[in-house]
Amino acid sequence: MFSEVKVLQIVLVQWLTLFSFTYNSHGTYILDGSAVFNENSYLVLTNTTKHSYGQAFDNTTFEMKDQSFSINFFFAIVPEHKQQGSHGMTFAFSPTRGLPGASSDQYLGLFNKTNNGKTSNHVIAIELDIHKDEEFEDIDDNHVGININGLRSVASASAGYYDDNDGSFKNLSLISGKLMRLSIVYSHPDTKLDVTLCPAEFLVPPRKPLLSLNRDLSQYVLKHMHIGFTASTGSIRALHYMVLVYTYPEAVYQPLEFGRVPTLPPYPKKPSDRLRTVLAVCLTLALFAVFLASGIGFVFYLRHKKVKEVLEEWEIQCGPHRFSYKELFNATKGFKEKQLLGKGGFGQVYKGTLPGSDAEIAVKRTSHDSRQGMSEFLAEISTIGRLRHPNLVRLLGYSTRMRIKNGSLGNNVSRSSKTLHLLYSTCIKNGFKSSFIEISNRLMF
């Protein structure tokens, strides 16, 4: 019994050494397809090629028939696109060092269209499938399955694990790019195969397995089998990593402390992809700048439109210049009370100064409740605006009229001052003379 235990210990040490990939240059693994070891001694089953597959099978054999065993390995799938994977990978027991004639895409580098499902394959595999294939009745595009001699799983479950504390199910994404641990435990006396998935940080897998299969595996395998890994890509590419694998010839869950869990590099980008990314970022920023400038311009346009003076057809015919409300607002200092000259039936009159000059003006602002209607306003502007005479003050704008500092003509005429009567009689005479001269000129012409 002691010698048997000693032999088992030696076998265990050999397995741990062989599968830790510290001696991969010695030909421990037979590689096929696109499978390679990278600079970190990680097994990379697929590269950046579409519709490719990779295989890596141990050169030594594993006694599996009528035996219990436990296998743990750490893996990761890094897809080309974060939200969409390729096809997936498998851990397989095979009677040969590799599976010749295997196909890519939905066949996972394990079988092909011809040999898929044949009992003569003697292959048992645990698939980590990231593509839903209706052909094989896959449950979803993120699941773990137990396959025997074919790609139609005899048992499958969505990727995740059951929490030991409350028993709740925690989802895991196989294409997250993070390192995960898969535990495969088979008890020959119980003829039960348990498969458990969990994050790489877990010291031991959860107590409740992800999926189980009650079946005697001895009827499907040979006495000596090779263990290995396969993976494939389709129209979408992905990198399938296998970092470490441990085996133990008993149906137990071994505590495995990974130590510092490595962070795998992201999917490599081609120079054209980088250029496309840079152009996309620049275009996005440019569009954002254009939209921002357009938005600011539109806001200023709306603000300007609110205060913009729209020239109507009747105003074009009136002649006098139209002042904007802003000009009159500034001229009267905001229509302040101290600028108020007087009030009338038609509105209020304010003292002001024309912008850009020192000329004093009077601004009449008509109120909404004024007795003056639009017709009266138009008549006033049209009549006064067309008057031209040397002795009459010219109307500068139909919304304003000049403030006469010394009073209006009517007020001065009605005064009893003799001087004023003489002044205005002289003005009237001069006016008649001017009119007579103007009429004479027209008749002579």
| pTM of the predicted model as reported, rounded to 2 decimal places | 0.58
Question: Which segments of 233-301 are extended strands (E)?
Answer: 238-248
Residues placed in the known binding site: 364
Please give the Cα distance from 77 to 98 (Å, whole number).
21
- Report which of 149, 30, 18, 124 is spatially closest to residue 73, judged by C-alpha positions: 18
Low-confidence residues of the chain, pLDDT below 50? 1-27, 400-404, 442-445
- Which residues are documented as binding site for ATP? 364
Cα(414)–Cα(155) distance, integer angstroms: 116
User: What is the model's pLDDT at position 412?
Assistant: 56
Rounded-to-integer distance, Cα 251 and Cα 238, Å: 33
Q: Output the pLDDT for position 425.
A: 59
Give the residue among 220, 242, 183 at the shortest CA–CA distance from 57: 242
Q: What is the pLDDT of residue 373?
A: 57
